Amino acid sequence: MGRPAAHVGVLALQGDVREHVAVLEALGAAVSLVRTPAQLAAVDGLVLPGGESSVIDKLSRAFQVREPIRARIAAGMPVYGTCAGLILLADRILDGLPTQLPFGGLDIDVRRNAFGSQVDSFEAELAVPALGEEPVHATFIRAPAVERLGDDVDELASVDGRVVAVEQGPLLGTAFHPEVGGELRFHRRFLDRVSAVRGRMPE
């Protein structure tokens, strides 16, 4: 028998879950909402949506998925985090709440709300050479920025001298929301990582 079709999850505790589901389904992926350890165990990759990173952190503990997510990341599961999701993927949050802990995995330091408050939200056209010549239309909403990159982390994009998109192995993070404007290429890149990891797994 052949391998079953891969499917991915969107962490559905808080944030712009529906927008990610819509983009992933538009790319032909089978998508599940993830709120429990059992639901996490059934997916091949995970999207961490934008929202409130401290709230998602707190709810992940309440729903007992924080440690399973950390274990899956350590085991090589592909993950894509946008905005709050990028904060959660960082190994270190420079200005997190005293009780806030990230899932970790990306060897970066990140600063929350690096571009200001909600009223400072903006849109920009970003050059992302890894995705081709066409610029990426990016929506920044109380966006974080990466202030330190580990040796194995690749910078994919920056704005005003601040790093806003990174990649490390199967982990991908953006400070902005491609899903808001219908940009598909980051999610396609994430799905490519899922396929690559599945291709190395035994039948």
Residues assigned a catalytic role: 83, 177, 179
CB atoms within 10 A of CB 16: 20
Which residue is it, tokens 């990028």?
A: 86
Distance CA 58, CA 185 (A): 30
> Residues 183-201, buried b or exposed e (16+ Cβ, 10 A)?
beebbbbbbebbeebeeee
Beta partners for residue 140, in sequence order: 122
Enumerate residues 6+ apart whose C-beta is below 8 A from 25.
Answer: 31
- Class of residue 160 by CB neighbours under 10 A (exposed 0-12, middle 13-18, buried 19+): exposed
The secondary element (H helix, E strand) that includes residue 124 is strand 122-126
